[in-house]
Amino acid sequence: MRPLDPVTSKQRVAYGFAFFVLFVALWSWATLGGHVSKTFLANPLTMVQEGYDLLARQGFLYDIGMTIWRVVGGFALAAIIAVPLGVLMGAYKPVEAFLEPFVSFARYLPASAFIPLLILWAGIGELQKLLVIFIGSVFQVILMVAVTVGATRRDLVEAAYTLGASDRGIIRRVLLPSSAPEIAEILRLVLGWAWTYVIVAELIGSSSGIGHMITDSQALLNTGQIIFGIIVIGLIGLLSDLLFKAFNAWLFPWRLA
């Protein structure tokens, strides 16, 4: 091993996989070896069994579907509003001066703290879950997109002006394409955070979703189910991340060239 020396892609997969093996091995040793009480932590086999039971007999797939739809719905809503606003803020300094202080303030408001208020306003239906995710994501995306667009290379903007670009042309044909890969990365990052908000939203006043299943299992002290739920969240997160990455690479071939 030397600093910054690259690894081959095969090695990369092997190392990544090895950690999961090590993790499960340690977990098995702790639980099956009797070092941790069953009440607090289920062993991997029980977890798999409980997971199968959840999927086959308790309609857990429906819960998973509900959670995914809430994340995607709330996140899409946030993105549709936040990306154009962020672009406007990044491009036009007066808009930025107008909105930035408020957005910076709102960004620190914890989405989970809004849940009681949102239940009051929107009930415990789907709208409330979507709003939690929306509030949790929208300000982050606005601010990060604004910073990215604002940091567009000035020399590219100047080159475009000398080529006869109008102000609209600068936005459409310089600011947007040059920021697009970063914006896609921002969305990927914030989608990850949205997953934590949805679970919190489902822990309180919900009748479906992965978070709801986890609260139910807690009441029954079924740690196997809780862990299975958490692992499912992790797997979906990992999968969506990979898809997002592949999609970005396909969308912006000039970056990798």
Partner 1 sequence: MTTLRIEQVSRTFPARHGNAPTRALEPTDLTIGNNDFVTILGPSGCGKSTLLRIVAGLDRPTSGRVTLDGREVTGPGADRGMVFQSYTLFPWLTVRENIAFGLRERGVAQDERNKIADALIRQVGLSGFENHWPKQLSGGMQQRTAIARALANDPKILLLDEPFGALDNQTRALMQEMLLGIWERDQKTVLFVTHDIEEAIFLGSRVIVMSARPGRIKAEINVDLPHPRSYKIKTTPEFVQLKERLVEEIRTEALKVAEHA
Q: Under the rule (CB under 8 A), what is the footprint of partner 1?
A: 155-156, 158-166, 169, 173-174, 177-178, 180, 252-255, 257
Calpha distance 114→107 (Å, rounded): 13
CB of residue 58 to partner 1, shortest distance in Å:
49
CB of residue 174 to partner 1, shortest distance in Å:
7
- Nearest CA among 110, 173, 164, 157 for reference residue 137: 110
33 or 164: CB nearest partner 1: 164
Calpha distance 210→155 (Å, rounded): 49
Neighbours of 54 (CB within 10 A): 22
CB of residue 157 to partner 1, shortest distance in Å:
10
DSSP sequence for 121-187: HHTTSHHHHHHHHHHHHHHHHHHHHHHHHHTS-HHHHHHHHHTT--HHHHIIIIIHHHHHHHHHHHH
40 or 254: CB nearest partner 1: 254
Tokens standing for 25?
């091995």
Longest CA pairwise span in the chain (Å): 74
In whole angstroms, what separates CA 63 from the centre of its chain? 18
124 or 160: CB nearest partner 1: 160
73 or 181: CB nearest partner 1: 181
CB of residue 253 to partner 1, shortest distance in Å:
8
49 or 178: CB nearest partner 1: 178
68 or 165: CB nearest partner 1: 165
CB of residue 257 to partner 1, shortest distance in Å:
4
CB of residue 179 to partner 1, shortest distance in Å:
10
What's the chain's Rg over C-alpha atoms? Answer: 23
